[in-house]
Amino acid sequence: MPTSAPDPTTERPLLAVSGLSAGYGKLGVLTGVDFDVHRGEIVALVGANGAGKTTLLSCAAGLLRDVTAGTVSLNGQDVTRKKPRAIVKRGLLYVPEGHRVFPALSVEDNLHLAGYGIDRAARTASIAEAWEVFPEIAAKRQEKAGRLSGGQQQMLVIAQGLVRRPDVLMLDEPSAGLAPVLVDRILDVAGSLRDRGVGVVIVEQLVDKVLAVSDRAYVLTQGRVTFSGAASELASGDVLQRAYLG
């Protein structure tokens, strides 16, 4: 169950998106989106396919810089249109849907590669923390990543992100292709990261599952925010039907 969420009226958010409009060339996708994430909370971002969820995360991560209005701030600094590398260094990590591991490398080498550029001692400590979070892959650290099951590869993908010790971790469809028991495991990990003070964003089509572990939620409908509030409020059937299905 969600812990007591930070009070968004008194704490500065880790990630703050304000009045964001963006798209792909002449194709506008987002219109005036406001969205924020605080330390130690899970935020669910839900909506139908094509609503703009991945576009929003891509803008926050610097992968899409065709922003026509609005700003993206991270830890109080404007990162609108900044390059992805600069945004990662400032504490935001995005795990897109379908992100893949390096199959020919060992599990451990995948993590070392993810920590490239980090001081060796700090990287070693971060990898040790990742093993604690995912004991399932720690036991297979010398195996080639390509031999892991689909669920274990997804765990490795998230572990790669954790090596960089992000302030904000954004997960786009982490359940894709996973068995229900592994989906629950990934969401359990999201809860443990929240307890460590990480702000977690989850885009997920398994709406009931993600709302059950989230503190707050947003609904995007055709590129606009049509609901923002407590996840428990959205989880009530009538609110979810109105906000999510229209």
Indicate the domain borders of the chain. Answer: 6-91+205-246
Cβ count within 10 A of residue 219: 26
- Mark out the alpha helices in 118-179 (DSSP H runs): 120-133, 135-138, 150-162
- C-alpha closest to that of 57 among 26, 33, 27, 28: 33
Dist CA 69 CA 50 (whole Å): 20
For residues 21 and 38, give the distance between their C-alpha atoms in angstroms, rounded to a whole number: 22
Q: Which CATH architecture has domain 6-91+205-246?
A: 3-Layer(aba) Sandwich (3.40)
Q: Which residues pair with 190 in a beta bridge?
A: none
pLDDT of residue 97: 82
Give the number of other Cβ atoms within 10 Å of residue 119's Cβ. Answer: 10
Yes or no: say if 200 and 192 are a contact pair by the CB < 8 Å rule. Answer: no
Angle, CA 201 vertex, CA 31 and CA 215 arms, to 5°? 105
Closest to 198 measured CA to CA, from 163, 174, 167: 167
User: What is the pLDDT at residue 5?
Assistant: 52
Give the CA distances from residue 226 to residues 189, 222, 246, in Å, rounded to whole numbers and listed in that order. Answer: 28, 9, 9
At 228 the three-state DSSP class reads strand
Question: CA nearest 30: which of 61, 13, 54?
Answer: 54
pLDDT score, position 245:
58
End-to-end CA distance of the chain: 27
Q: Give the pLDDT of residue 92.
A: 96
The pLDDT score that the predictor gives to residue 174 is 87
Residues of the chain with pLDDT under 70: 1-10, 237, 239, 242-246
Nearest-5° Cα angle at 114, 111 to 117 = 120
pLDDT of residue 65: 87
Q: How confident is the model at residue 150, as a pLDDT?
A: 84
- Note if the pTM is more than 0.85: yes
**Residue 215 · residue 231 · CB < 8 Å:** yes
Q: Which residue has the tokens 């849907």?
A: 97
